[in-house]
A = this chain, B = another copy of it.
Amino acid sequence: MTKISINKIAELAGVSKTTVSFVLNGRGDEKNISQKTQEKILAVARENNYKANYIARSLSLGKSFTIGFIVPDISNPFFGKIAKQIETVAEKKGYSVMVANTNEDVLKETNIIESFKARQIDGIILASASKNYNQLTSIIGKDYPSVFFDRFLPNMNKPFIGINNFETAQQLTELLIQKGHKKIALVSITSYLPNIVNRINGYKDALTTSEIGVNEDLIFEIEPTDIKNGIKQVISNMVEGENPTTAILFLNNVLTAEAIWTVNTLYPEYKDQLDFASFDNLDLFDYSTPRVISALQPSEDIANLAVNMLCDQIDNNNQHEGIQLDTSIITR
């Protein structure tokens, strides 16, 4: 039961491996291989259940037909949904998908990218944990096909698929205002990334436009490496004052989910007094208290665009512009 190779097929069919390669790649007619020879080769290949070795093929062609998908956490449903769609679309195009989790760790991200490049993966789609594109670009390389999403980085010269952060934050904040809230906090992970800045600006804009105004003390930033404790502190801080915060805008779903858990577990008495708004939707928001207004990102569109843009870079060296998609606000 030794593996059967193209050489073996050539030997069994009594022709050269060149001829076998041509025929099995459907180039038999083009290369003037006689019908008789073609049939013979196909028959021998079928009989022996020949399957081409993609590693050898990749080495020869300089192309692995693999794309990498790198995210902080594939078990986050937001990334999971995109992963699923990416795999579905990629598979149709003949690509397989390699996934990896960075856990928001820039060093791990670096190692993954280097590993993926060493594996000759044709291109990557990533939601980067990095704060700075210049660091990244030296790893990724100027010419390595890549598409970014979710996390925008300054000075990025690669396509980025994002959402209308400013407008979405504005809308979410306005909806909280309309519910009658006067003290609306904002909770973010890192505040210096452009899309986070835009979200914060949208929040501020909505508050400024209303008569409420911005209170910088209500803007909290949490370390992505210790979200649990961060949220606990922020929530206790908010509810325990004498003039408690009544609404919070969270800049991603992990923060919101953790806050829901914290309120239900530690401060159940405040459950019904609080209103939440959140970037990224989660199924549990349909049923949780505090009620959550959420901004659903169009994950299928993001995935489709990402794969198409990436393949266009890989196949045609054709780099698209980034694109900004609209969220759908889900009120509850």
Interfacial residues, chain A to chain B (CB-CB below 8 A): 1, 51-56, 58-59, 64, 66, 73-77, 80-81, 83-84, 87-88, 91, 96-101, 112, 114-120, 143, 257, 260-261, 264, 282-284, 286-289
Contact = CB atoms under 8 A, between A and B. Distances in A.
Contacts of A120: 53-55
Contact of A97 (B64, B98, B261, B288): B98
Contacts of A257: 283
29 contacts: A1-B143, A51-B117, A52-B118, A53-B59, A53-B118, A54-B119, A54-B120, A55-B59, A66-B119, A74-B74, A74-B80, A74-B87, A75-B77, A75-B80, A76-B80, A87-B100, A91-B112, A96-B119, A97-B98, A97-B99, A98-B98, A98-B99, A261-B286, A264-B286, A284-B284, A284-B287, A284-B288, A286-B288, A287-B288
Contacts of A1: 143
B64 A74 contact: no
A100 to B, nearest CB: 6
A84 B73 contact: yes
Contact of A59 (B56, B75, B99, B114): B56
A54 B68 CA distance: 15
Contacts of A81: 75
Contacts of A84: 73-75, 101
Contacts of A54: 118-120
